[in-house]
């Protein structure tokens, strides 16, 4: 069965890579591309694709906002999310997504997503995600998490690999992410703290401030500060002090039962 596809991603290289992978399947026709959610909705009116591959974080409208608008249509296309951030996986089911792929997209997982989409196209849209489909996606995300690679840290001309449990904290200064580990300090190949956090266990690595991501197992001391806020003193060589934002103070108080 020939299926038509629209690819939506604000990163051109990501769009081109996904279109290339899709082109290897003779039963898939990529009928259009869009670099933001608003442009995607305009194209959908003209192209009426069977499947839409949607990035989550985009300018204008997020992938979830686009998907919610699509769900209001009489014959909505089937949605597959494609993103670097696995924390949104379960949210995908609130918009009845077919699948949730993590970048870089693995060809085998793409084939699975296409197979699921074809299965839905073959039958009437139920409007409910089956428990089996939910279990399959959760299992896929868990498998991806289990295979997480070491964090790359650049120190001068050297490229070192650091295990996640050795990270003490990461900080953002302008457009550069600095990694501080037990024995190493250097820069990250990730552009933002969000991208770095997506590769880590978010139960352990907290975004306590817009400029800091900390390993809660590497906190040496919690220092009370003004307005009932806190300063975290970390277990690095400098005993670095990191502020906790007002929004994260309550979470920290609840976690520590303070």
Per-residue pLDDT reduced to its tens digit, 107-157: 999 999 999 898 888 764 445 555 555 555 555 555 555 555 688 999 998
- Supply the pTM of this predicted model: 0.52
Task: Specify the pairing of strand 185-188 against strand 176-181.
Answer: antiparallel
- Between CA 123 and CA 217 the distance in angstroms is 49
Mean pLDDT of the 211-235 span: 88
- pLDDT tens profile 177-197: 999 998 899 999 888 888 888
**What is the torsion angle, in degrees rounded to the nearest 10, for the CA atoms of residue 62, residue 65, residue 71 and residue 76?**
-30
Lowest mean pLDDT among 85-94, 102-111, 141-150: 141-150
Return the higher-pLDDT residue of 94 and 181. 181
What pLDDT is recorded for position 238? Answer: 92
If 0-12 CB within 10 Å is exposed, 13-18 middle and 19+ buried, where does residue 124 land? exposed
Query: pLDDT over 90 for what percent of the chain?
Result: 41
Mean pLDDT of the 196-209 span: 84
What pLDDT is recorded for position 167? Answer: 94
What pLDDT is recorded for position 125? Answer: 43
| Site of tokens 């399959």 | 136
- Between CA 197 and CA 68 the distance in angstroms is 26
Domain 3-146: give its CATH superfamily. Answer: Response regulator (3.40.50.2300)
Phi, psi of 33 (to 5 degrees): -135, 150
Mean pLDDT of the 187-212 span: 86
- Between CA 58 and CA 178 the distance in angstroms is 25
> In this structure, what token pair is assigned to residue 206?
């907290």
Quick check: bond before 166 cis, omega within 30? no
For the chain, give the mean pLDDT. 84
Domain locations in the chain as residue ranges = 3-146, 151-256
Q: Does residue 84 carry a pLDDT above 90?
A: no
Specify which of 189-193, 215-219, 249-253 reaches the highest per-range mean pLDDT: 215-219
**What is the torsion angle, in degrees rounded to the nearest 10, for the CA atoms of residue 108, residue 194, residue 52 and residue 60?**
-170
Provide CATH code, domain 151-256.
Answer: 2.40.50.1020
114: Cα separation from own chain's centroid: 20
Q: Are 154 and 187 in contact (CB under 8 A)?
A: yes
Lowest mean pLDDT among 5-9, 51-55, 126-130, 202-206: 126-130
Fold matches, 3-146 and 151-256: no
Mean pLDDT of the 98-113 span: 90
- pLDDT tens profile 46-74: 899 999 999 988 877 888 888 888 888 87
DSSP string, 7-75: EE-S-HHHHHHHHHHHHTSTTEEEEEEESSHHHHHHHHHHH--SEEEE-SS-SSS-HHHHHHHHTTSSS
DSSP string, 102-144: ESSPPHHHHHHHHHHHHHHHHS---SS--HHHHHHHHHHHHHH
């Amino acid at each position: 069965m020939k299926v038509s596809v629209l690819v939506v991603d604000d990163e051109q290289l990501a769009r081109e890579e996904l279109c290339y992978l899709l082109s290897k399947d003779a039963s898939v026709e990529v009928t259009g591309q869009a670099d933001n959610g608003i442009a995607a909705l305009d194209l959908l009116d003209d192209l009426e694709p069977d499947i839409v591959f949607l990035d989550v974080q985009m300018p204008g409208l997020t992938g979830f906002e686009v998907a919610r608008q699509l769900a209001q249509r009489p014959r909505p296309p089937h949605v597959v999310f494609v993103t670097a951030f696995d924390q949104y996986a379960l949210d995908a089911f609130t918009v009845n997504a077919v699948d949730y792929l993590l970048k870089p997209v693995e060809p085998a997982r793409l084939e699975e997503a296409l197979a699921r989409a074809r299965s839905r196209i073959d039958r009437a849209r139920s409007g409910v995600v089956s428990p089996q489909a939910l279990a399959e996606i959760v299992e896929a995300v868990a498998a991806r998490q289990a295979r997480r690679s070491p964090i790359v840290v650049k120190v001068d001309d050297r490229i070192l690999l650091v295990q996640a449990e050795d990270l003490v904290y990461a900080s953002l200064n302008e457009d550069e992410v600095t990694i501080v580990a037990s024995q190493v300090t250097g820069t990250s190949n990730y552009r933002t703290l969000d991208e770095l956090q997506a590769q880590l266990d978010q139960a352990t690595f907290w975004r306590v401030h817009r400029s800091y991501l900390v390993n809660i197992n590497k906190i040496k001391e919690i220092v009370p500060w003004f307005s009932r806020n806190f300063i975290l003193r970390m277990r690095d060589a400098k005993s670095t002090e990191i502020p906790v934002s007002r929004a994260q103070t309550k979470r920290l108080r609840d976690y520590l039962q303070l």
